Each structure stands twice: as structure tokens, then as C-alpha cells.
Amino acid sequence: MFCVILFSSCISPKSITYINNLPQAPLINLDSLTVPQPIIVINDIIEIRIGGENEKTVQYINQYFGGGGGSSATSSPGGVAGSSGSQYTVDVDGYITLPKLGKIQMTGLTRDQARDTLTNLYRQYLIDPIVSVKFSGFQFSVIGEVKGPGTFTVTNEKVNIFQALAQAGDITNFGRFDKVHILRDVNGKRQIITVNLTDKSILNSENFYISRYDLIYVESRNLKYVTDNVSRTITFISAAFSIIAIILVLK
């Protein structure tokens, strides 16, 4: 057991402390960060709401959207007259199918771009349409040296790396705070981003906020495998001595 304690004591406190190089000050002002606009990707579930104040627009919406039209439609009243919302799943080719418009390409668009596109397309049928587009949830996964790995879905569309790790119960003392990998896939474009959470630079980094469907992987220290092996060895030796002692007593 002494060996285990000895190995564990080799861990530097700074290596298991977030942002350990901040200046000593009661107030630190940070740079402003722009939250990246989420891009619509394949298999996204987006909610589209159509509304308007014009009576003809309302009649049209009630006719074509009253019963919903999405692949998993859940119509509900909104704050705008005639507003109706339905959920649509982006298919493997990047399209959704809407009443009157048919198949519309969604992948690669931001939420605002999708809203503007649909607003312009529906102007040929509606008078002053009001369109809103939102994502059904923010999903990400955390694995590796964390206390509670898993896949998480939150309603907030702005999630930073520390909030994501907090959902997984935080990094264990055997995790590499300086080597946290973010695996990102945006419509087939894949990246592995490595961040150092012990350094203050993460606070002003473009990777401070994670993206939907990110996979966060926290590396393990080699020290963990050493201590695990030592623990197993000690258990084996203790068991061996116990067997020898029993044999000696019997003799």
C-alpha cells in the first residue's frame, strides 16, 4: 500500500487543477467570445414553426400545418397567430420535406440561414410569413477518465467545455487535464481538437464552447496503470502470504 501512496503522491497539484496560471487578482476581465452558430447536420431534429398575422396566412397555415407534417410532428400553438410547430429529421441526403415546398436542403445552413431560406420560399404562398427554426436539443458525449461517462442532452444551446465535463462528474485525479480531446464530425468533416484545461488560454479559445454531437475524451495518466498494477501485485502477495500462513498453521 505504501507503493500506491508513493506513486499517487507523484501527481503535481497543478496538473489536476483547472486554469492554474491565472494572475492573483480579485477581478479578471476576459475577452468577449462569440458563440459559434450551429450548423444543421444529417440526423438533426429541428422544429419549424410557421406563423403570421394576416388572416389568409392563418387560414393557409391551419390548412397545411394544422396536423403537422414532419417525420415526428408535434403541432402546438405559438405566440403568433396561426403558428404551428412540427419537428423534422434531416435525412441522410441532408433534406427535409415541407408542405408545398417539397424537399429542401438543410445541411450546411445555420439556424438563421434556414429561417431566412424558408421565409423567402413561403412568401410565394403566404403574406408576411413568420418562420422560426430551432434545434430539439444539444447532445454530446464524454468518455475516458471522468467519474460518470455517458451521452448527455441539454436544452441549452451554449455549452462550454467545463459545463460538459461537469455533466460527466468532472475529471478524475488520474485524468490528463492538459490533454482533453474533442472529436468533432460536421457533415463528414472530422476533426480531433486537443485542449489544455490547466492553461488560462482556454478561456479565450475558439474551442471554449463545444459543438453539438462532440465526443470529449479525457486521456488517462500512465500513473494509473502503474498504481493499478502495484495494487494487483500487493493483493496477490497478500493472498500468497495468507495461504502460506494457513499451511504453516496446519503443519
3-state secondary structure of 107: coil
Domains of the chain: 2-20+137-224 (3.10.560.10), 45-135 (3.30.1950)
d(CA 190, CA 203): 24
pTM of the complete model = 0.75
Cell numbers placing 71: 417525420
Q: What is the DSSP string of 111-131?
A: HHHHHHHHHHHHTTTSSS-EE
Q: What share of the chain is helix, strand, coil (3-state, %, to 5)?
A: 30, 30, 40
Q: How far is 230 from 139, CA to CA, in rounded Å?
A: 38
The three cell numbers locating residue 68: 403537422
Q: What is the pLDDT of residues 224-248, one digit of tens each?
A: 544 554 455 566 566 666 676 676 6
Are 55 and 127 contacting, i.e. CB atoms less than 8 angstroms apart? no
- Judged by average pLDDT, the poorest of 88-97, 121-130, 184-193 is 121-130
Task: Pick the more confident residue, 78 or 17.
Answer: 17
| H helix count then E strand count, the chain | 5, 10
